[in-house]
Amino acid sequence: MDSEEKLLQFAPFSSCLDPGFWYQLTQRKVNIYKLDDSPVSISGFYSNGEAPGLPVLANIDYTAFDGNRKAPAHQFTLMGTLYNTNILDEFKQKDKQKLILDFGKQIWSDIKSGKALKKPSSTLSLFLAVTFADLKRYVFYYWFAYPALIHPEKVVLLSPPLSLQNCFTADQIIQLQCTYDLLEDPEDRSYFLVHINEAQSITVRPLREYLDLKNEPGKLIVGFADPCTLKENPGWPLRNLLALVSYHWGKDRSEWEVLCFRDRVKDGKRSSSHSLLLQVKLCGTMIPNDAPLCVGWEKNEKQKLGPRHVDLSSSMNPKRLAESAVELNLRLMRWRLVPSLDLEKITSTKCLLLGAGTLGCNVGRCLLSWGVKHITFVDNARVSFSNPVRQSLFTFESCLDGGELKAEAAANGLRRIFPGIVTQGINLSIPMPGHPVNGKLIEQIKQDVEQLEDLVETHDVVFLLMDTRESRWLPTVLGALKQKIVFSVALGFDTFLVLRHGMKSKDSNSGVKPMSLDGAVPGDQLGCYFCNDVVAPGNSTRDRTLDQQCTVTRPGVSMVASALAVELLVSLLQHPRGPLAEAETSSWDQNLTVESESPLGIIPHQIRGFLSRFHHILPASIAFNQCTACSHSVLDMYKREGYDFLLKVFNEPNYLEDLTGLKKLHEETNSAEVWVLSDNESM
Amino acid sequence: MDSEEKLLQFAPFSSCLDPGFWYQLTQRKVNIYKLDDSPVSISGFYSNGEAPGLPVLANIDYTAFDGNRKAPAHQFTLMGTLYNTNILDEFKQKDKQKLILDFGKQIWSDIKSGKALKKPSSTLSLFLAVTFADLKRYVFYYWFAYPALIHPEKVVLLSPPLSLQNCFTADQIIQLQCTYDLLEDPEDRSYFLVHINEAQSITVRPLREYLDLKNEPGKLIVGFADPCTLKENPGWPLRNLLALVSYHWGKDRSEWEVLCFRDRVKDGKRSSSHSLLLQVKLCGTMIPNDAPLCVGWEKNEKQKLGPRHVDLSSSMNPKRLAESAVELNLRLMRWRLVPSLDLEKITSTKCLLLGAGTLGCNVGRCLLSWGVKHITFVDNARVSFSNPVRQSLFTFESCLDGGELKAEAAANGLRRIFPGIVTQGINLSIPMPGHPVNGKLIEQIKQDVEQLEDLVETHDVVFLLMDTRESRWLPTVLGALKQKIVFSVALGFDTFLVLRHGMKSKDSNSGVKPMSLDGAVPGDQLGCYFCNDVVAPGNSTRDRTLDQQCTVTRPGVSMVASALAVELLVSLLQHPRGPLAEAETSSWDQNLTVESESPLGIIPHQIRGFLSRFHHILPASIAFNQCTACSHSVLDMYKREGYDFLLKVFNEPNYLEDLTGLKKLHEETNSAEVWVLSDNESM
């Protein structure tokens, strides 16, 4: 008989990994686990209703990380443990033999303790996964195991497997289905007992009722939900069930009938008649001292024991891929370097860029690099041939046929880089003091003013990136009125100024305190771009020679100034007091006057850079109470008179100086030397 | 008779301006005149052989500025004076009336002095032009005048003009042509005398022979080369000729015959028979005390006295336009700001960029902005989805289908911006110490090494912009061997290093002097990227977690570092000693140790930047005589053994440390604390 003895063979699980699983893993690795490579609980599932011909699938999908996931009908949970390594070498070097043996010990222990009788699914249906996610390339390395105890030593098939329809009546099969459905605990639906009483009537019962049932008249069969579709073989889950049977009930008898319960709905009709009934003998059921050996590492596509990998870079939606890749790069900062970084504060900030020239393009690019999702450009010029080499969102194509509108071309440039950006280019001339408005223009400029007001209102940050002083006036006033964060950037030939405007307090009556001598100025008392000036802005574009019309600068100046402006904004956004943060005036430790509270460093009021010396200074200046842009007399008049006030500013050269009292100041200091900050002078 | 008196009317010049003229003006304005708006001598020409129906054309083309230009046959020079203003308002406000009256005075003075008799063309055929060239937009504003004296007060046409063929015989016309051709001085061909002797024989003579001829028997006629094609009217040049006739010979008689000499070649046959013969009476020939009034401002397209403008931005070749626009922007720097700037030194520098990532793209862009014409990228990676938002030469498109090769994509990016660039992307892995080379690899890596050697050889500057330390080794060695300018740029999270490698002296035996204590280090004694290291480079890519693999940096860091690296190079190129310039270690005046000799500022050895403090330091360090990259023991061994030496470096971990004596140093300082500079540590 030994020579003809036929051993039962089990069809192993094949991992069926949905890309959603890898997407979830990526998200969690980046956002939650970071460098933590502790094992993580996940889950998969299998079905006993698969169509004929399919392998024994272990499905792992986007729900794998959902701890509360319930297996749907006809699906059975596999409890998994994920070992995601930080580096590929760790993945390779992980001791897989030891790992699966440890799982074997756990299963054996649960069998011995009786826990497996009460919770058979979560103790017997297990898997483990070792993975390495190359998140830069979207390549995932993985090796899955479905631990199965080698116990009993061998399982002999006493007769050829029978299809259920050949040994059960149709009534019996219906009884089987109905009483199976009555099992309340999903744990019991994976592994169960089938009792056939003397009247040949069928009942399905939980494993834990064995002791009650074994003494009842009739026949007792062990059953399990079988994911296999082969006619001769049961699926993998039977292995641990037989270990349990052998351990607990092997002393009662060694020959068992096993129901491989297959339960399919086909053409709207439930069928279980293709289930198998096996006659097996459990041999060598001597109970070992140690846990039995455990096997189950999956073979790879070459049918060898080894890992697999999947390259998802091409199959994922490229726009989605780009978005998650960009997000990844940013989130990486939090892993080691700045754990307290609040990226959401940065990426959700809506930025309005006034000017889409060399500064506008570079600021836009740097904001995009920081993940800012909402960027609006305003400009009124067209792209000319000299622009693209310095204005980094334009190409040669943008100059043809008279040139694209700069604002639109800049927005299109951002979209070409990152389709997920929300961006818009608005062709608008910013009304300016000293540029008279009359006749037909009155109505048109009114609309321009209203559009600009709306734009400032609907954004969080306004960047003033224009090349004339007077075009900065109206946005400075609007930013102050609406309490927006306002940044000015201005370039000289080899110098630059980056300045955050002071945030006006809501209470227009709050007086401005004199600047403290230790140099630290609170954010709501800082000056604006015009606070250092003692003349009102006027028409500066008249009488400029070509080298004054073009902003003639060393090309690096704009790159440096734009980058520093964005970095200063980002540091500001991370500061607990945001724009109210005090201004730091010294760049180095020994003189640090303000406690640096932003996780990214200090937040000065101004950065003045000198490229010829590779040097920065960080002055802070207090708001000037006769400022022609941000003083309360200006803001109050605007609130009171609106556009009528603006018309006076545009049309009457001395109006602002009269209003703010600057004229009086001039008379008083007539012969005194005053320092005038001008866009055209080196700063 | 007075009521029927018919006054002679003259057909005025129409300016025919070739775009070549505007191109030449642009070139001269930018390169030569700059802000100098003094009047400039130019010239134009007219022809007396135009086809019927054409207006009286004054041609001004690309030869206008050529002082030695000779008028070709049948063309006559107009001597011009160009007033090109610096700003549009000057153009508008120029006193045109005064200007033309001044010209009238000059002409009158030349007539009175007799100069006009000797040099009639260059004294009577004049024009002036007031222009403003908007070189940013390629729009040119202009107003031309062809000064003509109002003298005599009126010219009465005594009989209808006759065609020459109706009053001269064919023989006479041939005599006219032949003797006209005998005039030697081109001056005399514009204005001349025609003598008809008693035998009706015709001779053409210069004006200055009037006194001889007037006493000879026969008839004396005044003639001029007539650009007009009308049958009833002479062209504009006759006006100043009649002023001359009236002044010098008016006392002899008031009635004159005038030959409007028209001299055309049609179908290969010369014809002058369509010339006109006029009978005129010069009236009111009283000689004024002052110069007579002068007219001649050209009417515009609306037939009003006023300026015209032409927009050439669309008609010029766009690539050429882009090139000249970019050049203009650079040359503007020289106008006021840095007159000594040698742009040629910058634009002709051939730059090799090793690494086409965030640094490579930004450095490439900044070089392009400076007008550098030759940029080569080397990289071995493909563009991935996270790249474009930080790597400024790539777009979303570059990532699709597995990603373009970075080096090629970067070169294409530059071309898209500026088609005039000479650029190339080379897909090449740079061989590295610690990455063993054996078997089949030996031959392949040898080719890679040779390609890299060629690349370093054929470029002037090598930028090391990679993200691993060991990949910088071979290029550092090659740059030192071949005496190239080498720049290293490396990034930390919010820090960066920009370093110019010391220029090795040709004499390998020259010892390195100890660093002087005052901090100034000559360019040939400065250290390289590896000089601060006391370990040889090895494989640093193994065992790096994701945040170490991606260069995780604040996005602004790369923009700042790249811009400063290029600006440092540009300053270096402008220094009279170039790469041998001493390194400045202090950024501000009070501590300046080295006389700043570059017109663009100081030239430190290193710029180390700290974004969290918006601060730079400028250390200088001396070459380390046991350096694993630039020490003479390494360079000499490479020269001697070539690739065999490299194989030892690649394959034997301790070889470099043995060779340089670093191993010994390690043993000596075994327990001492040493500072190791690493790419992965914050710098």
In this predicted structure, what is the pLDDT of residue A535? 65
* Residues A671-681 pLDDT 10s: 333 333 333 33
Contacts of A494 in chain B (CB under 8 A): 600-601
Q: CB B614 to CB A600 under 8 A? A: no
- Give me the sheet containing B485-491, strands edge to edge: B422-427, B374-379, B350-354, B461-464, B485-491, B495-500, B606-610, B615-617
Contact flag A87-B543 (C-beta cutoff 8 Å)? yes
Q: Is the pLDDT of residue A514 over 60?
A: no
Please state whether B10 falls in left (phi above 0), alpha (psi between -120 and 50) or beta: beta
Nearest CA in chain B to A338: B493
Cβ-Cβ contacts under 8 Å for B611 (sequence gap 6 or more): A564, A567, A601, B494, B495, B496, B554, B556, B557, B560
Architecture of domain A2-152+297-316: 3-Layer(aba) Sandwich (3.40)
Residue in B202, B96, B107 with CA at minimum distance from that of residue B151:
B107
Distance from CA of B538 to the nearest CA of A (A): 18
pLDDT at residue B44 in the model: 94
The structure tokens 């402006």 sit at: A565
Active-site residue (options: B178, B294, B399, B550): B550
pLDDT at A362 over 70: yes
Which of the four pLDDT bands, split at 50, 70 and 90, describes residue A190? very high
CB count in 10 Å sphere of residue B543: 12
Average pLDDT, rounded, for chain A: 87
List, for residues B308-364, the tens digit of each pLDDT value. Answer: 998 887 666 778 778 888 887 788 777 667 888 899 999 999 999 999 999 999 999
Between the two ends of chain B, the Cα-to-Cα distance in Å is 102
Cis-peptide, bond into residue B147, ω within 30° of zero: no
Q: Do B563 and A556 touch (CB under 8 A)?
A: yes
Residues 6+ apart with CB under 8 A from B89: A542, A543
To probe the interface with B, which of A369, A372, A607 has the most B CB atoms within 10 Å?
Answer: A369
How close B574 gets to chain A, by Cα (Å)? 12
Instruction: Give the mean model confidence (pLDDT) for residues B447-470.
Output: 95
Q: How many inter-chain contacts (A to B, CB under 8 Å) are there? A: 270
pLDDT of residue A597: 65
- Residue A550 appears among annotated catalytic residues: yes
Structure tokens at B354: 């090793």
pLDDT of residue A303: 86
pLDDT digits (tens, 9 = 90+) for A447-492: 999 999 999 999 999 999 998 888 999 999 999 999 999 999 999 8
pLDDT at residue B551 greater than cutoff 70: no
- Closest Cβ–Cβ partner in B325, B369, B567 for A611: B567
| Residue in chain A nearest B547 by alpha carbon | A332
- Chain B positions in Cβ-Cβ contact with residue A392 (cut-off 8 Å): 365, 392
* Range with lowest mean pLDDT among A647-661, B339-353, B583-597: B583-597
Indicate if ipTM > 0.90: no
CA of B22 vs chain A CAs: smallest distance (Å): 16
The active-site residue, picked from A366, A550, A627, A630, is A550
Residue B491 burial class via C-beta count within 10 angstroms: exposed 0-12, middle 13-18, buried 19 and up = buried
Q: Which residue did the predictor score with more confidence, A581 or A508?
A: A581
Interface contact flag, A546 B86, Cβ < 8 Å:
yes
Q: Is the Cβ–Cβ distance between B17 and B310 less than 8 Å?
A: yes
CB contact under 8 A, A601 and B618: no
Whether B563 and A543 lie within 8 Å, measured CB to CB: no
pLDDT at res. A674: 34
For residue B572, give the chain A residue with the closest CA. A612
Cα distances from B462 to residues A586, B355, B378, B560, in angstroms, run 36, 11, 11, 19
CA-nearest residue to B135 within chain A is A546
Q: Which of A317, A398, A545, A559 is most worth mutating to test chain B (most B CB atoms within 10 A of its CB)?
A: A559
**What pLDDT was estimated at residue A17?**
86
Check CB contact under 8 Å for A35 and B543.
no
pLDDT at residue A131 in the model = 96
Burial classification of residue A217, based on how many CB atoms lie within 10 Å of its CB (0-12 exposed, 13-18 middle, 19 or more buried): exposed
Select A343-668's CATH number: 3.60.40.10, 3.40.50.880, 3.40.50.970, 3.40.50.720: 3.40.50.720
Please give the CATH topology (third level) of the domain spanning B155-291.
Cytidine Deaminase; domain 2 (3.40.140)
d(CA A605, CA A622): 10
Distance from CA of A332 to the nearest CA of B (A): 6
Min Cα distance A440 → chain B (Å) is 24
Token pair 């090795």 is at which residue? B504
Write out the H or E segment, with its range, that includes residue B601.
none
Residue in chain A closest to B562 (alpha carbons) equals A556
> DSSP letters along B58-78, please?
EEE-TTTT-TT--PPTTEEEE
Query: Kindly report the CA angle at A317 between A315 and A323, in degrees rounded to 5?
Result: 125
Shortest distance, CA A609 to any CA of chain B (angstroms): 10
| Percent of chain A predicted with pLDDT > 70 | 89
Strands A154-157 and A162-163: unpaired
Residues in chain B: 683
Tell me how close the Cα of B333 comes to any Cα of chain A, in angstroms. 6
| B325·A618 Cβ contact <8 A | no
Choose from B131, B546, B602 for mutation: most chain A CBs within 10 A. Answer: B546
pLDDT tens-digit map of B53-95 = 888 999 998 889 988 887 777 789 999 999 999 999 999 999 9
Q: Which residues of B touch A560 (CB under 8 A)?
A: 559-560, 563-564
A89, A136, A545 member nearest B35 (Cβ):
A545
**Of B329, B366, B544, Cβ closest to residue A559:** B366
Report pLDDT digits (tens) over A588-625: 444 455 555 688 888 999 999 999 889 898 888 889 98
Residue A52: band (very low, low, confident or very high) from pLDDT cuts 50, 70, 90: confident
Please list the alpha-helical segments (H only) found in A617-679.
Answer: 632-641, 643-651, 655-660, 662-668
* 8 A C-beta contact, residue B261 and residue B180: yes
N-term to C-term CA, chain A: 102
Q: Which residues contact A440 (CB under 8 A, 6 or more apart)?
A: none
pLDDT at B272: 93
Checking if the pLDDT of B96 tops 90, the result is: yes
**pLDDT: is A662 or A140 the higher one?**
A140
Fold of B6-152+297-319: Cytidine Deaminase; domain 2 (3.40.140)
Residue of B nearest to A398 (CA): B417
pLDDT value of residue B679: 33
DSSP-derived pairing of the beta strands A126-134 and B126-134: unpaired
- Judged against a pLDDT cut of 80, whether residue A682 lies above it is answered with no
Q: Do B333 and A552 touch (CB under 8 A)?
A: yes
Residues of B in contact with A611 (CB under 8 A): 564, 567, 601
Q: What is the model's pLDDT at position B521?
A: 83
Which of B386, B394, B587 would best serve as a mutation to test chain A binding (most A beta carbons within 10 A)?
A: B386
Give the minimum alpha-carbon distance from A674 to chain B in angstroms, rounded to a whole number: 24
Which pLDDT belongs to residue A137?
Answer: 80
What is the pLDDT at residue A678? 30
| Chain B residue numbers touching A568 (CB-CB < 8 A) | 614
| Of A628, A681, A624, nearest in space to A659 by CA | A628
- Could B386 and A547 be called an inter-chain contact, meaning their C-beta atoms sit closer than 8 Å? no
Q: What CATH homologous superfamily does B341-668 map to?
A: NAD(P)-binding Rossmann-like Domain (3.40.50.720)
Q: Which of A131, A311, A386 to mutate to test the interface with B (most CBs of B within 10 A)?
A: A386
Threshold 0.80, pTM exceeds: no
Report whether A332 contacts B546 (CB < 8 A): yes
Among A332, A401, A552, select the one facing B546 at the smallest CB separation.
A332
CB-count exposure of residue A371 (10 Å: 0-12, 13-18, 19+): buried
- Provide the shortest C-alpha distance from residue A579 to chain B (in Å): 17
Strands A485-491 and A461-464: parallel
What mean pLDDT do residues A245-256 have?
93
A564–B560 CB contact, under 8 Å: yes
> CA A449, CA A638: separation in Å to the nearest integer?
12
pLDDT, position A570: 96
B601 contact residues in A (CB cutoff 8 A): 494, 611-614
Mean pLDDT of B373-392: 95
CATH fold, domain A155-292, is: Cytidine Deaminase; domain 2 (3.40.140)
Identity of the residue in A332, A418, A547 whose CB atom sits nearest the CB atom of B396:
A418
Q: How many angstroms separate the CA atoms of B579 and B524, rounded?
A: 8
- A303-332, pLDDT tens digit by residue? 889 999 988 876 667 787 788 888 877 887
Is B547 in Cβ contact with A337 (below 8 Å)? yes
Residues of B in contact with A602 (CB under 8 A): 612-614
The structural domains of chain B, with segments of one domain joined by +, span 6-152+297-319, 155-291, 341-668
From chain B, pick out residues whose CB is under 8 angstroms from the CB of A587.
610, 613-615
Tokens of B90: 């000057």
B502-542 per-position pLDDT tens digit: 998 765 444 445 444 455 788 999 999 998 776 667 665 55
* Rounded Cα–Cα distance for residues B476 and A398 (Å): 39
Which residue among B338, B563, B612 places its CB closest to the CB of A560?
B563
pLDDT of residue B510: 47
Choose among A322, A329, A338: nearest Cβ to B396: A322
Q: Alpha-carbon distance B663 to B653, whole Å?
A: 12
Same fold: B6-152+297-319 with B155-291: yes
